[in-house]
Structure 1
Amino acid sequence: MDLEEYRRQARDWLAANVPGAPAEGSAAEDGVATAREFMARLYDAGYSGITWPAEWGGQGLTQAEDRAFAAEAARVSLPIYVFSIGLGMCGPTLVDLGTPEQKARHIRRLLRGEEIWCQLFSEPGAGSDVAALQTRAVPADDGGWIVNGQKVWTSVAQHADYGLLLARTDVEVPKHKGLTMLIVDMHAPGVTVRPLKDMTGRAHFNEIFFDDVHIAPGSVVGEVNGGWSSAVTTLLHERLSISSGVGMSGPRDNPASLDALREVVDVQDPLVRDQLVELHIRSRALALFNAKLSQETKAGIFPGARGSAAKLLLAELTNFQADLAVSLAGPQALAYEPGGGGLAGAIALAPAMSLGGGTNEIMRNIIGDRVLNLPPEPRADKNVPFKDLKVGTQS
């Protein structure tokens, strides 16, 4: 099919099928039901997993079709927030590292909205230093695993069916070498999910407790005790996913956008317009950088630590947007809406981008070490067995 015809058909389909409510990011159960129904229609129409391998349930098309659909989808608000972790992080990790059985079982169901996924890495004592995590997985008699521990800052966990869990499986080796990635059933006995409210008043994140949770055989993603390598793959997809689409999307994503500020500032003022042009330039530059990384990834060129650069730029852009919104809107920026919406809600949420997916400080360390080839920071724990470290609550 001609690319322009493909794009026209996508535009027509979106116009006929994108619901007006609930808004993206809704945590209400009716919002989840709407998202599931929409994902099924999206998949059946051929617009979910456009570049994912056809043998596992994707559409098997090219980056050109993916970009064409993304350009049209950016004009509307797709109700797929609860699938963002699965589509952007967990699913791509399974495509890269999953066994044939894992791919056959999960990928098509994920793309059709039949499964919601979350990512279970961070812990109260292991945030930026993920490799210091203490959640333990020990072998079970049936060849599976028994897991005990806690995770935190987990998005969409309250709705998730499955999660990618990073757990410690060997304490006799240095911290990076004793980790294993496992697929965990979020409905299994012993899994407890508790929402965490942030300063917007909404529960964007959750904490999860694992109490003797049984994980079935065949759930290891990658290699036993090779979980750090698996985690790096997931984190690469995470950083590309978090930063992708910036500058391509509509006003809903931008707290300093024209639509958000039109009623409280004079957008005809040349000084105001200059500031908004600066915002557009920064957003567009990041969008093009992400497009380049995405194209390289699809072509088999590993972006590596440059994904961390994209994520850092997004965090800085988000805070620039929030600062600009406050500067332009003045007192109106404090007009808080129930449920954490509105301009004040977007401003309050902005600092989270400097934390989620890796802090700005960690991103700068990665860029300095792996992109600029600067000398790494000293690491006293590099060759020390984990059981001998004093990390988090371990002493």
Structure 2
Amino acid sequence: MADDEFAAEFRDWLDANLVGEFAEIKGAGGPGSEHEFFPQRLAWERHMAAAGWTCVGWPVEHGGRGASLSQQVRFHEEYAKADAPARVSHLGETLLGPTLIAHGTQEQKDRFLPRIIDVTELWAQGYSEPGAGSDLANVATTARLGEDGKWHLHGQKVWTSLAHLSQWAFVVARSEEGTSRHKGLSFLLVPLDQPGVEIRPIQQLTGTSEFNEVFFDDAVTDAEMIVGERGEGWKVAMTLLEFERGVSTLGQQVGFARELEQITAMARANGSAEVPAVRERITRAWIGLKVIRAHALRTLAERDSSGGNASAAKLLWANWHRDLGELAMKVQGAESLTGPTHTSEGAPNDLRDPENLELAQWQRLFLFTRSDTIYGGSNEIQRNIISERVLGLPREARPS
């Protein structure tokens, strides 16, 4: 099928299906609003699955459509242009699923892939820890294989997105005693609904709780729930991170473009577009978005073992989106410091009380984008990767 035909088929399906109850959740679940309409967004995604519009880039033999790279780009762009709601199963579809296809056993594929495709099981990512954020090799969570044929996990994960809504987590844990850094890690699939798992939501600046702390206190998973070889989980984890910065970022950029268009319209409406400094920042934002897209299109199909392309892409879009949040505040002026008089439930809107707080759209964007330069690998880590692996500069001094 030609790319234009593929895009037209999906666009027509969206036009015909993003109606009625689903039209009411258009645009829901964006930055700082991940809590919005979750049951409805889950129902929408299952509706997509029933029509064969989930996991379109997966090979046909694994339940996908076998869409080419360019078709996947068009898919994500059409989804964003339709202002469809934020996806709820992206960690399973775009991260774990492709990783299982690459490294999983046939039994693991048979068990998990169909439930990712039909959105009946949701996944969380158990990577970061209090002492191992962007420096993932510092993982301290342990996994020991017991005589009962199960892995026993002890430790803590943090910034675990959607763990409170997920049934499973893919977890990087240290399985080999006496190892350090990249060696001795294993990649495990762990059920979250069990006595040994405690999930504590973390309140964000926006007042919402997308991510969580997850504590493992003798949590268990079956011996066969290891992906790849024992002690070789770093390779599997890095494969997954390659998928994290893949084609779906093109759809993300369509969303960025919509935000910029709305901010530009707001600047024209309130007259701030006539201020030279504001007009210059809007122009720079427009140019920056073009650069991000050009870089993504140029590098998506390249095999880059250094990680330099992915790191450059992360630096480009994270800094751009953070600056966009600041631009939104600049355009609004004094209005950016005030919120609605009352919340949607009718209660007084007390900005000092996170339990009784409602932020406006651009306030949520501004606060959420503070995290863009941290999650998914901080700016410092991305610059280290580029300087050391691409430019060949001396390694930054690290604690012994």
Q: Normalising by the residue count of structure 2, what TM-score does the alignment of the two structures yield?
A: 0.85
2: CA distance between counterparts of 1:16 and 1:303?
A: 43
Higher mean C-alpha displacement, 52-61 vs 1-10: 1-10
Q: CA RMSD for the aligned pairs? A: 2.6
Name the counterpart of 2:12. Answer: 12
1: CA distance between counterparts of 2:223 and 2:192?
A: 16
Residue 193 of structure 1 aligns with an amino acid whose one-letter code is I
1: CA distance between counterparts of 2:283 and 2:39?
A: 38
1:178 aligns with 2:181: no
1: CA distance between counterparts of 2:282 and 2:388?
A: 34
Instruction: Note closer, same or farther for the CA distance 1:233–1:10 as it changes in structure 2 (3 Å cut).
Output: same
Name the counterpart of 1:145. Answer: 151
Name the counterpart of 2:354. Answer: none
2: CA distance between counterparts of 1:14 and 1:43?
A: 13
1:72 aligns with 2:78: yes
2: CA distance between counterparts of 1:173 and 1:92?
A: 28
Residue 49 of structure 2 aligns with an amino acid whose one-letter code is Y
Name the counterpart of 2:322. Answer: 319
Name the counterpart of 1:21. Answer: 24
> 1:327-366 residue pairs with structure 2 within 5 A?
327-336=330-339, 338-366=357-385
- Contact 2:134 / 2:377 at 8 angstroms: preserved in 1? yes
Instruction: Give 1:375 deviation, angstroms.
Output: 1.9
Instruction: Give 1:71 deviation, angstroms.
Output: 2.4
Residue 16 of structure 2 aligns with an amino acid whose one-letter code is A
Higher mean C-alpha displacement, 261-270 vs 177-186: 261-270
1: CA distance between counterparts of 2:87 and 2:148?
A: 36
Instruction: Note closer, same or farther for the CA distance 1:182–1:255 as it changes in structure 2 (3 Å cut).
Output: farther
Instruction: Give 1:162 deviation, angstroms.
Output: 1.1
Match of 2:200 among 183, 191, 194: 194
Identity of aligned residues (%): 34
SS of residue in 2 equivalent to 1:177: coil
Instruction: Give 1:306 deviation, angstroms.
Output: 1.5
Instruction: Note closer, same or farther for the CA distance 1:187–1:365 as it changes in structure 2 (3 Å cut).
Output: same
1: CA distance between counterparts of 2:217 and 2:233?
A: 21
2: CA distance between counterparts of 1:176 and 1:36?
A: 36
> For residues 307-335 of structure 1, what are the alpha-carbon distances to aligned partners after superposition, in whole Å with 9 as ceiling and x for unaligned?
11111112211221122222222112223
Instruction: Give 1:54 deviation, angstroms.
Output: 1.3
SS of residue in 1 equivalent to 2:131: coil
Residue 242 of structure 2 aligns with an amino acid whose one-letter code is L
2: CA distance between counterparts of 1:260 and 1:202?
A: 26
Instruction: Note closer, same or farther for the CA distance 1:84–1:230 as it changes in structure 2 (3 Å cut).
Output: same
- Contact 2:245 / 2:310 at 8 angstroms: preserved in 1? yes
Residue 389 of structure 2 aligns with an amino acid whose one-letter code is R
1:164 aligns with 2:167: no
Residue 325 of structure 1 aligns with an amino acid whose one-letter code is A
2: CA distance between counterparts of 1:291 and 1:188?
A: 43
2: CA distance between counterparts of 1:101 and 1:377?
A: 42
Q: Normalising by the residue count of structure 1, what TM-score does the alignment of the two structures yield?
A: 0.86
Name the counterpart of 2:349. Answer: none
> For residues 60-119 of structure 1, what are the alpha-carbon distances to aligned partners after superposition, in whole Å with 9 as ceiling and x for unaligned?
122232222222212123334322322332222222222222122212321221121110
Instruction: Note closer, same or farther for the CA distance 1:184–1:50 as it changes in structure 2 (3 Å cut).
Output: same
1:284 aligns with 2:287: no
> 1:1-395 residue pairs with structure 2 within 5 A?
1-18=1-18, 19-22=22-25, 23-25=28-30, 27-28=34-35, 31-240=37-246, 243-249=249-255, 253=259, 257-258=263-264, 264-267=270-273, 272-296=278-302, 304-336=307-339, 338-379=357-398, 381=400
SS of residue in 2 equivalent to 1:176: coil
| Stretches of structure 2 lacking an aligned partner (at least 5 in a row) | 341-356
Name the counterpart of 2:351. Answer: none
| Stretches of structure 1 lacking an aligned partner (at least 5 in a row) | 382-395
Residue 29 of structure 2 aligns with an amino acid whose one-letter code is E
